[in-house]
Structure 1
Amino acid sequence: MEKGRETMTKYSKLFEPTKIGAFNLKTRIAMAPMTRSFADDNTGVVNDQIVEYYRKRAKDGIGLIISEGVVVTPRGKGNPGVPGLYSREQVHAWKRVTDAVHEEGGTIVAQIWHVGRLSHHELIKGSAPEAPTAIQVDALVPRFRKPYDKPEEMTIGRIKEVVSLYAAAAKNAIEAGFDGVEIHGAHGYLIDQFASDVSNKRTDEYGGDLAGRLTFMKEVIKEVIDAIGADRTIIRFSPHKVDNVEYRWEDADAAIRTFTEAFKEVGVKIIHPSVLDFTEKFAGDQTIYDLARKYWDGPIIGVGSLTPDLAEEALEKGVIDVAAIGRPLISNPDYLEKVKNGEELVEYDAKTHLPELV
């Protein structure tokens, strides 16, 4: 048996076509969303480099490409060079990216994003960041190296407006040729700020216990689903935060149960729990994905420093349905080809792989 065929047999689940929601995928490997900061910093418009960046991954056979975070409003920006999906120019530019992916037989969704309090006024045209509660983060903005600003507490009216901005961005994504969207509800950004008792001290309908704090997330999901359909909507959520890497849910089992109940209530079909380490244990000997599968029968996307072997094992067990790969896909545009041929992967190095798209 030739080496490539032998490797594909070893990783039969990884290379297996599948369908989740409306997405017909060539393989069960996804490209995890990764901030690259290569859009025009003033306009949030993507360029020729980004077109080819995503084309290469689609050509390699990646089943589902989840784009870098794409902000739904200028005030949602938290890093230099982040793209948007709120202007006609941005929509037009993204169409070239989605056309390139589709020409290679790929599937691509836009990760729609608002960073909330994790920003600085110089990044958002002089505005203050916005958040469920006016609590400032004591840290520096990544890639900007200035302290986070104190945010303004969002009024009920502004909350409703931002919910509508997510739905508008989802419609723009479909117009731009994306196959769907992933709502970024993870990692301590705006939706997760509402979900967390660390950043949400509200006493209205958007505060209280976890079920109450998930009200904002549910409203966003519902409006996005109403705009583009449940089969084209993914929700990403997480137990950790970029501004507090040590933070974890106090009771992961109860948290997962509450999150999944909320997702079922609003009609979500595909979930993407996010952790840094896929094997991390949260409740006894259970991972986040063990817990998620306990309460969720639908498709689950898994992520967290997955190797081909670990991903294959998780797919075989049915703990996840699609395995998302992150940094190795930056340093290896031909990731699947290398895995198929048993070739050594280029290790990701920030100094090597951040200055230019590969």
Structure 2
Amino acid sequence: MSNITKLLEPTTIEAFSLKTRTAMAPMTRCFADDETGVVNEAIVEYYRKRAEDGIGLIITEGTVISDRAKGNPGVPGIYSPEQVAAWRKVTEAVHQEGGTIIAQIWHVGRLSHSELIKGQQPQAPSAIAANGQVPRFRKPYETPEEMSKEDIKLVVAQYAKAARNAIDAGFDGVEVHGAHGYLIDQFNSAVSNKRTDEYGGDLAQRLTFMKEVLRAVINEIGADRVVIRFSPHKMDDLSYRWDDAEQALQTYIDAFKEVGVKMIHPSMLNFYEEAKDGKNIYEIVREKWEGPIIGVGDLTPESAERALQAGWVDVAAIGRPLIANPDYIQRIKEEKKLVEYEASEHLPLLV
């Protein structure tokens, strides 16, 4: 790995000064107290170690914005004072190691179950059940309640409050999770959004909810501290792709520019998967977007270096290898072989 240079260099993207061009991808670990959503000392040490190693930008596991936003047992929240206080221990530990950490704020929408959300019905843009079962809960997805306009206003406000709570907890910013078939993506997709009001229609119109969330979060904490994650992938349908990737990306990017987004995180399961005309998603995005791009998708140090050298992304996000290798950066610098991630050897993981 002696040719790995750009991945290890420092950089600044908006408000974030990073020790390297690496990011820790958001990975749901289900470490938190299931009843309260409060993180513990194991989580403090988990993130501290990656900051100590030199990971540039740590993006936390999905952190829910309300008790109704939850989709898995043991996920953390960032809506109560107790949750905020517990996260402060994490951010202090990361900052003591010279790291940068942002909270991924999350609402799963219909990808939940009433038994996980205190008897409440899951919410979604339309009353259409997802296919499959809730991960780690092993019960079929229920038919969600179609959100009223009052519901939508409340959830938008919850996103903004979660962003403010994140800053109060010491986070350097937030990532809005708008990918993978969760609530924002449910509004964005014609599969799950059959509304006939201003939140439905063609793709540009279906992005209305996402734009309202982004405006509210940006107004709360500033655009230089906000990342948006989006994707053609859905956790409840891994075969799903956009019909026309280039047109879809143009529509998304137009929406991001309209609301003042500065940093984007397109999310792919395979970074180099062809999207259109031999180009991957990141090549197409770079042609349309001049600001910072975080890239992810089963990257190795070598493939991440290639993407950075090509200029397709500014920061490369690493997932499972960072679970197996808390000393990931040091291993690259010392040209040591990385430990292979083995699911059976680690605590449960969802992406």
TM-score, length-normalised on structure 1?
A: 0.96
Q: Deviations over 1:97-135 (max 9, x none)?
A: 000000000000000000000000110000010000000
1:337 is paired with a residue whose SS is helix
The answer to whether 1:13 aligns with 2:25 is no
The answer to whether 1:55 aligns with 2:48 is yes
Contact 2:29 2:348 in 1 (8 A): no
Q: Distance in 2 between matches of 1:147 and 1:33?
A: 25
The answer to whether 1:340 aligns with 2:328 is no
Pick from 214, 231, 236 the counterpart of residue 229 of structure 2: 236
Q: Distance in 1 between matches of 2:175 and 2:324?
A: 23
Pick from 295, 304, 315 the counterpart of residue 302 of structure 1: 295
Q: Distance in 1 between matches of 2:4 and 2:102?
A: 25
The answer to whether 1:98 aligns with 2:91 is yes
- How far does residue 355 in structure 1 lie from its aligned partner after superposition? 5.9
The answer to whether 1:245 aligns with 2:238 is yes
- How far does residue 289 in structure 1 lie from its aligned partner after superposition? 0.2
Q: Distance in 2 between matches of 1:355 and 1:275?
A: 21
Pick from 207, 210, 215 the counterpart of residue 217 of structure 1: 210
Task: Give the partner amino acid of 1:331.
Answer: A
Q: Distance in 2 between matches of 1:92 and 1:31?
A: 23
Structure 2 equivalent of residue 283 of structure 1: 276
Ranges in structure 1 where 5+ consecutive residues have no aligned partner: 1-5
Q: Distance in 2 between matches of 1:117 and 1:195?
A: 13
- How far does residue 241 in structure 1 lie from its aligned partner after superposition? 0.2
Q: Distance in 1 between matches of 2:106 and 2:56?
A: 22
- How far does residue 275 in structure 1 lie from its aligned partner after superposition? 0.5
- How far does residue 199 in structure 1 lie from its aligned partner after superposition? 0.3
Moved over 6 A (4+): none
Structure 2 equivalent of residue 39 of structure 1: 32
Q: Deviations over 1:254-302 (max 9, x none)?
A: 0000000000000000000000000100111011101111110000000
TM-score, length-normalised on structure 2?
A: 0.98
User: How large is the RMSD of aligned CA atoms in angstroms?
Assistant: 0.9
Structure 1 equivalent of residue 156 of structure 2: 163
Q: Distance in 1 between matches of 2:173 and 2:39?
A: 18
1:201 is paired with a residue whose SS is coil
Q: 1:308 to 1:162 in 2, by over 3 A?
A: same
Listed as ranges, the matches of 1:251-266 within 5 Å are 251-266=244-259
Structure 2 equivalent of residue 152 of structure 1: 145
Ranges in structure 2 where 5+ consecutive residues have no aligned partner: none
Q: Distance in 2 between matches of 1:11 and 1:222?
A: 38
- How far does residue 246 in structure 1 lie from its aligned partner after superposition? 0.1
Q: Distance in 1 between matches of 2:60 and 2:348?
A: 18
Q: Distance in 2 between matches of 1:332 and 1:316?
A: 24
1:186 is paired with a residue whose SS is coil
Q: Distance in 2 between matches of 1:317 and 1:352?
A: 35
Q: Distance in 2 between matches of 1:181 and 1:349?
A: 29
- How far does residue 339 in structure 1 lie from its aligned partner after superposition? 1.2
Q: Distance in 1 between matches of 2:110 and 2:281?
A: 26
Pick from 254, 267, 280 the counterpart of residue 274 of structure 1: 267
Contact 2:188 2:207 in 1 (8 A): yes
- How far does residue 138 in structure 1 lie from its aligned partner after superposition? 2.2
Pick from 111, 118, 125 the counterpart of residue 111 of structure 2: 118
Task: Give the partner amino acid of 1:258.
Answer: T
2:7 is paired with a residue whose SS is coil
Contact 2:23 2:316 in 1 (8 A): yes
Listed as ranges, the matches of 1:177-188 within 5 Å are 177-188=170-181
What count of residue pairs does the alignment treat as equivalent?
349
- How far does residue 347 in structure 1 lie from its aligned partner after superposition? 1.1
The answer to whether 1:197 aligns with 2:157 is no
1:14 is paired with a residue whose SS is helix
Structure 1 equivalent of residue 65 of structure 2: 72
Q: Deviations over 1:55-84 (max 9, x none)?
A: 000000000000000000100000000000
Q: Distance in 1 between matches of 2:247 and 2:142?
A: 33
1:65 is paired with a residue whose SS is strand
1:191 is paired with a residue whose SS is helix
Identity %: 68
Structure 2 equivalent of residue 3 of structure 1: none
